[in-house]
Amino acid sequence: MVRKGLIFLLLTLLGIAGCASVHWDSSCQRNGQEQPDSTRLETRLDENELNPKADSEKEKKPPKTLFEWAIPTEQKDDKEKKDKDENGVEEEKRLDPDRPHLPEAASTVGLGRAILESGYTYTSKGPAFLHQHSYPEALFRVGMLAEWFEFRISQNFINQKDNSGSGQPASIVGAQDLNIGVKLALTEQKDYLPESALILQMTVPSGSANVSNGTVMPGVNLDLGWEIVKDRFGIETLTSANGSRDDVGHAFVNFAQGITAVVDLTRKLQSFTEYDLFVPMGAVAPEQSHLQEYIVSGFVYFLNNDFEVDIRAGVGLNNHASDYLLGTGFAARY
């Protein structure tokens, strides 16, 4: 009798151990029969619990902009789509540099990314001065804190040679004031409403004595962008007001307006043409108190999604503008 009891106890323990070893598929037998399918469904762990990544992929991505246009649309947001290479593999969108046209990019560099931009411009004007060299036109952009926030710092030098008897110094050589600012991505494009960004910036009196403004000068830029034909044609605009000082030390506001038409000739080659207007509001120096108008055209070539080189040329449209300008540069994303 004792022996039969021990055998029964041993078989019971083996049965429990067998059921525990197959807990994940709930296929342990009861009285020699499989559990019904309904019981199997109740004991099986939920697929999402086994794969938490499925839930995380469904979570909403961090916002790229501060605001969103409050209009209904049936179109999906193309900004969330990634380009594909020749093999059909998804790849990151190419960089959107602030150079070489006057309107800056209406987007930020992106959280954790950085862009370095640099260039050179030659300007000629008579009879006020013979020529001016501007370099390195360095701008460093860093995405931090959020997708819509960008920190910016830029530095430039000028070398200007004037005609004798023009009333200006024979030459002006030195560093301009350091420019520090932030860019805020405001909205993404939705139908006819533009992509937009706001730049809040200021210059600090760090430049050479004959070039510096001598005090902090604040400024603001508003950049708008429309993609009219996807990957083919777009329009960008700039409206800005930045503080400066004229040659007699009088502070004024340099108002600027620019509109640029951008055409993608190929996947890597882009052309642009723009109209730029500069209005010195409050300037009293004779050579700096008149508005200037320009037409500028150029090309941008993207060697890859993270690097571009560019060239541009422009002409002045009125007597107070420079006769012409030539420029080149690059932008690299890290």
- The confidence band for 234, taking pLDDT boundaries of 50, 70 and 90, is very high
List all residues 6 or more positions away from 121 whose beta carbon is below 8 Å from its beta carbon. 133, 134, 135, 137, 325, 326, 327
pLDDT(163) > 80? no
Q: Report pLDDT digits (tens) over 217-230.
A: 999 999 999 999 99
**Residue 23 contacts residue 45 (beta carbons within 8 Å):** no
Q: In angstroms, how far is CA 7 from the centroid of its own chain?
A: 76
- The confidence band for 17, taking pLDDT boundaries of 50, 70 and 90, is very low
The pLDDT value given to residue 172: 84
pLDDT(69) > 60? yes
Peptide bond into 136 cis (omega under 30): yes
CA-CA-CA-CA torsion sign (122, 123, 128, 130): positive
List all residues 6 or more positions away from 124 whose beta carbon is below 8 Å from its beta carbon. 130, 131, 132, 322, 323, 324, 325
Token digits for 105?
């990019």
Q: Could you please report the per-residue DSSP string of 205-260? A: S-S-TTT--SS-EEEEEEEEEEEEETTTEEEEEEEEEEEEE-TTS-EEEEEEEEEE
Q: Report pLDDT digits (tens) over 238-255.
A: 999 999 988 888 899 999
Token digits for 9?
């106890």
User: Which residue blocks in 22-131 are alpha helix, DSSP H?
Assistant: 37-43, 47-50, 52-58
The pLDDT value given to residue 328: 98
What average pLDDT does range 15-32 have in this prediction? 39
- 53 vs 284, which has greater pLDDT? 284
**Residue 119 contacts residue 126 (beta carbons within 8 Å):** no
- 129 vs 189, which has greater pLDDT? 189
Strand pairing class (251-264; 217-229): unpaired
